Structure 1
């Protein structure tokens, strides 16, 4: 039986509380509503902020829906786990927060507990396409998550990486 790491376990419990159990339940607009986070669309870089105790996420309206979903999850990490204005913090701490947010985004967009339930093809490109279609993410993002999934499982199936 697979032992979830801390982040995977957090996301599984977090989604369970929000009654998110299947990839089709992963809707960032619903998550925002359930968490009382106001989402705005604008032409600038996506970001999150707190104002008078309320969380806001600003998403770039020029991004594709898949990119907005991924950016929302990135900003959600900052809301859930980070504090402070990144413009006024030491550069290495900002890098640390961004690294944590990137990892959170991969897991939040494509949760391990859902990925475990998918019978993925042995061809790495075909498996990436299945993940991309199932979770509504970009191909490169799906590939990054698949590589992380394989590495974290300490299990290397006989993936066919030939094109």
Structure 2
């Protein structure tokens, strides 16, 4: 069955870096592979481009789970966007933030890794396993798992409708 653009993008990105298992997912590993400098500071996390170098600033006070999630959000900006948000319209900033959030969920918990786990429910035990395996917060794991399962269900329904239509 087909995947979304974001699923394909993340899968290709991680495959190029030889990141194929959840234990390989870390902002240190990914930033090193991509040549992105990660700095810690006391302000909100953000991405910056300067002299052809990408920087991601992570808030020092965040938990490791929050740092990983923030890193993936900011990485979405680095990989998918260009320019200074201070010069953009509110609508375009909102679009970029939504796109970075979508990337964040897929980068923190890639679909191709979930598929390997053969997950079929969103019970507390499954959410806990995802949270621990991918080093994310519980609500984050729950939301990502719900989206993943909804997409699987939707693809299954569409695939079966196409099969039935073609068969009739």
Fold-level similarity (TM above 0.5): yes
Structure 1 residue 47 displacement after superposition: 0.4
Cα deviations by residue, 1:44-84 (Å, 9 ceiling, x for unpaired): 00000100110000000000011000100100010011012
Residues 48 and 78, structure 1, Cα contact 8 Å, conserved in 2: yes
- Deviation at 1:119? 3.8
1:122 is displaced (CA, Å) by 3.8
Aligned pair in 2 of structure 1 residues 133, 121: CA closer, same or farther (>3 Å)?
farther
CA contact (8 A) 2:120 2:149 kept: no
Residue 117 of structure 2 corresponds to 118
Provide the rounded CA distance (Å) in 1 between the counterparts of 2:119 and 2:79. Answer: 31
State the alpha-carbon separation in 2 of the partners of residues 140 and 116 from structure 1: 20
Cα drift, residue 123 of structure 1: 5.2
Q: Is the contact made by 1:121 and 1:127 (CA closer than 8 Å) also made in structure 2?
A: no
Which whole-Å deviations, capped at 9, do the CAs of 1:117-154 have from their partners, x for residues lacking one?
A: 11447452221111101101000000110111011112
Counterpart in the other structure of 1:160? none
Cα pair 1:131 1:142 within 8 Å, conserved: yes
Counterpart of 1:28 in structure 2 is 27
| Counterpart contact for 2:65–2:137, Cα < 8 Å | yes
Is the contact made by 2:22 and 2:113 (CA closer than 8 Å) also made in structure 1? yes
TM-score, normalization by structure 2: 0.88
User: Is this contact kept in 2: 1:38–1:55, CA < 8 A?
Assistant: yes
Provide TM-score, normalisation by structure 1. 0.90
Question: Which has the higher Rg, Structure 1 or Structure 2?
Answer: 2
In structure 1, the gaps of 5 or more residues are 156-163
Match of 1:48 in 2: 47
Q: How far apart are the structure 1 equivalents of 2:48 and 2:128?
A: 34
